[in-house]
A and B are shown apart, each in its own frame.
Chain A
Amino acid sequence: MSAELVRVAVDSERCIGGGQCEMLEPEIFLLDEDEVISSVIGSGALSRPRADVVVHRCPGAAVSIVEPQRPSE
């Protein structure tokens, strides 16, 4: 099975600007220059294992995986 892609999101209230996400995935996360809050840039799509690492390492527990909406049956 190919690596499953998931979308990630940042809770701006919880973000402490620790920069772990930007260190781990600079293509996906960017810290705002003024407010020092991380946000998702581009598609925000990551392989699930990589997304899990960012979630695990975020010091403010601000990064989460947005679970895909399953089509209604």
Chain B
Amino acid sequence: MSPSASTPTLAPEIADPRLYLDSIPHERFTQIRSMPGLAWHPYEDNGFWAVTRHADVRAVSRNPKVFSSAIGHTNLWDLEADALEARRSLIDTDAPDHTRLRRMVAGAFTPKNIRRWEEAVREITVELLDEFMVRGGGDWVDMVAAPLPIRVILSMLGVPVADADYLVELSNYLVEGTSDTQSLPPDAFGNTTELRLLPFNSPASHALFEYGDEMRSMRRAEPCDDLVTHLVKAEADGGRISRHEYRHLFHLLVFAGNETTRTAISHGAMALAAHPDQWQRVLDDPGLVEPATEEIIRWATPVLHMRRTAATDCELAGTAIAAGDKVVMWYASANRDEAAYADPFRFDVGRGDNEHFAFGGGGPHLCLGAFLARLEVSVLLQEMAARRMFLEQRGEPVRMASNFVHGVLSVEMAPGGKP
């Protein structure tokens, strides 16, 4: 914090993961949004500026020269310099590295190229929904929300179907690594790397790196039409991507392709079960699938925040920020900002002009998989509508105690008919 700054307003506690066990602490965020300027939030031995308003999140996200992703860490806690380097992925880079790496994979995720996956997504969705109905329901996360996105991303990467379960298992351990619980011993999967040097401090990251390396060798020997082959070619072709960058991109694609859309589909199902009138609107008007998809993604906000670090002294919302300060964009708050949305706490499948920040705050780190996530959610809604499925939630969900991901571990659902 700048020594010249006057005593800043203090934010109420929002970093304690336990606050997120029952729901996002929205009342606290609403309180912070109403405070003048930016509120300071003590954290560990220092603290961060809590950026909670929609307009302020956008200003941070779209000014990467001032608000860096490469300094410190993009999570709340700092990493030691060697750990930051060892763990650095696309997420923790600034231009020009970010632009180069991003373009390496962006081609697979453009609107046009994502549309090519529609039939594959539909096939998987139909299989999962039919099984869900035959069995009369069950854990929605386990039966639908988790398998749909992971199967799709593995297909895109080119992972053999036979290995899908193994990668799902690894990915689930990584999800676990975003919370305080870690059920794996440090040497699981033959890991010998210090955990602090691995993403999510998880030995499952080691296993995922190893798997990515194996695929790299396989595709080098025998190229296919998949994302791994594409990356391997980029590596061979004048070293446009380093081995470290390849390993971390593979890791990121598996993790982010799994965890985030799973969360959107889990919260989406709960929202539809709680608001059958809104679901009825979608059934009556298929044109609402698109805005309903955006609303579900806003409602879910799978990633609750991302951190930036000020590269220079600057000012935001009238508050002086010193070089080196942590600046945290709370997407969960921006997506309920009354200044950006009419009635933000209402779930409205017809909401127009829904510029939500569930894919980031509008800057260059915009979620790579945004169009894929939209496709998966919209195909799911179409197929649920085709089955006239009115989800009924049975009991409370088991949520993750995490301030970073809005995770749902399980929620029982039944495929009811019209109530």
For B355, list chain A residues within 8 Å (CB): 57
| Distance of A38 from chain B, by nearest CB (Å) | 9
Residue B87 at the A interface, CB < 8 A?
A: no
- Cβ A19 vs Cβ B111 within 8 A: yes
Residue B217 at the A interface, CB < 8 A?
A: no
For B98, list chain A residues within 8 Å (CB): 16
Residue B103 at the A interface, CB < 8 A?
A: yes
Give the docked Cα–Cα distance between A9 and B285 (Å). Answer: 37
- Cβ A35 vs Cβ B103 within 8 A: yes
| Distance of B418 from chain A, by nearest CB (Å) | 34
- Cβ A36 vs Cβ B111 within 8 A: no
Give the docked Cα–Cα distance between A37 and B110 (Å). Answer: 11
Given A57-B355, A59-B362, are A31 and B112 also a contact pair (CB < 8 Å)? yes
Residue A23 at the B interface, CB < 8 A?
A: yes
Residue B371 at the A interface, CB < 8 A?
A: yes
**Nearest A residue (CB) for B355:** A57
Return the contact of B363 from the options A19, A31, A59 (Cβ within 8 A).
Answer: A59
- Cβ A17 vs Cβ B366 within 8 A: no
For B102, list chain A residues within 8 Å (CB): 16-17
Give the docked Cα–Cα distance between A19 and B406 (Å). Answer: 26
Given A16-B103, A17-B106, A18-B106, are A57 and B362 also a contact pair (CB < 8 Å)? yes
Residue B364 at the A interface, CB < 8 A?
A: yes
- Cβ A18 vs Cβ B107 within 8 A: no
Give the docked Cα–Cα distance between A57 and B362 (Å). Answer: 7
Residue A34 at the B interface, CB < 8 A?
A: yes
Return the contact of A37 from the options B103, B109, B112 (Cβ within 8 A).
Answer: B103
For A67, list chain B residues within 8 Å (CB): none
B231-257 CB mask vs A (1 if < 8 Å, else 0) is: 000000000000000000000000000
| Distance of A21 from chain B, by nearest CB (Å) | 10
For A61, list chain B residues within 8 Å (CB): 62
For B371, list chain A residues within 8 Å (CB): 19, 23
A11-38 CB mask vs B (1 if < 8 Å, else 0) is: 0001011111011001000010111110
Residue B99 at the A interface, CB < 8 A?
A: yes
How many residues on chain B are close to A (CB under 8 Å)? 20
Give the docked Cα–Cα distance between A26 and B111 (Å). Answer: 9
- Cβ A18 vs Cβ B366 within 8 A: yes
Residue A60 at the B interface, CB < 8 A?
A: yes
B77-120 CB mask vs A (1 if < 8 Å, else 0) is: 00000000000000000000011001100110111100000000
| Distance of B372 from chain A, by nearest CB (Å) | 11
For B362, list chain A residues within 8 Å (CB): 57, 59
Give the docked Cα–Cα distance between A31 and B370 (Å). Answer: 16
| Distance of B313 from chain A, by nearest CB (Å) | 22
For A57, list chain B residues within 8 Å (CB): 355, 362
Given A16-B99, A23-B371, are A36 and B110 also a contact pair (CB < 8 Å)? yes
Give the docked Cα–Cα distance between A20 and B393 (Å). Answer: 35
**Nearest B residue (CB) for A19:** B110
- Cβ A36 vs Cβ B103 within 8 A: yes
Give the docked Cα–Cα distance between A24 and B64 (Å). Answer: 23
For B370, list chain A residues within 8 Å (CB): 19
Indicate the member of A14, A31, A34 with the most B CB atoms within 10 Å.
A31
Given A23-B371, A31-B112, A61-B62, are A36 and B107 also a contact pair (CB < 8 Å)? yes
Return the contact of A59 from the options B103, B107, B366 (Cβ within 8 A).
Answer: B366
Return the contact of B106 from the options A14, A16, A23, A26 (Cβ within 8 A).
Answer: A16
For A18, list chain B residues within 8 Å (CB): 106, 364, 366
**Nearest B residue (CB) for A62:** B364
For A14, list chain B residues within 8 Å (CB): 99
- Cβ B110 vs Cβ A22 within 8 A: yes
For A26, list chain B residues within 8 Å (CB): 111
30 A–B contact pairs at CB < 8 A?
A14-B99, A16-B99, A16-B103, A16-B106, A17-B102, A17-B103, A18-B364, A19-B109, A19-B111, A22-B110, A22-B112, A23-B111, A23-B371, A26-B111, A31-B106, A31-B107, A31-B110, A31-B112, A33-B107, A36-B106, A36-B110, A37-B103, A57-B362, A59-B62, A59-B362, A59-B363, A59-B364, A59-B366, A60-B99, A61-B62
Given contacts A31-B107, A57-B362, 19 further A-B contacts (CB under 8 A): A16-B98, A16-B106, A16-B364, A17-B102, A18-B106, A19-B109, A22-B111, A22-B112, A31-B110, A31-B112, A34-B107, A35-B103, A36-B106, A36-B107, A59-B62, A59-B360, A59-B362, A59-B363, A60-B99
Task: Give me the 10 closest cross-chain CB pairs, A-B, nearest first.
Answer: A17-B106, A59-B366, A36-B107, A36-B106, A19-B110, A36-B103, A31-B110, A23-B111, A18-B366, A16-B102
